[in-house]
């Protein structure tokens, strides 16, 4: 399950990641250092979970 981001987004936001099906998984503000990502804490136990968390915390 995923929370749904309805498009079109406000002009101040841009999508930075999406699924193969086109669901928005991450976005960021175009002018301010604000971003959001859908992340399930249990995914840290998956193959790339720690990298996903590290990249987010590092601001990548």
Does the pLDDT of residue 1 top 60, yes or no? Answer: no
What is the rounded end-to-end Cα distance, in angstroms, of the chain?
Answer: 25
Does the pLDDT of residue 40 top 80, yes or no? Answer: no
Residue 28: beta bridge partners? 14, 35
Domain boundaries defined on the chain: 13-57
* 12, 31 contact by CB (below 8 A): yes
Rounded Cα distance between 11 and 17, Å, is: 17
User: What is the per-residue pLDDT for 51?
Assistant: 84
Does the pLDDT of residue 42 top 90, yes or no? Answer: no
pLDDT class for 46, splitting at 50, 70, 90? confident
């Amino acid at each position: 399950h995923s929370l749904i981001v309805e498009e079109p987004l406000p002009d101040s936001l841009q999508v930075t990641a999406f699924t193969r099906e086109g669901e928005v998984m991450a976005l960021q503000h175009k002018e301010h250092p604000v971003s959001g990502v859908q992340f399930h804490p249990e995914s840290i136990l998956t193959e790339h979970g720690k990298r996903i968390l590290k990249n987010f915390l590092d601001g990548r």
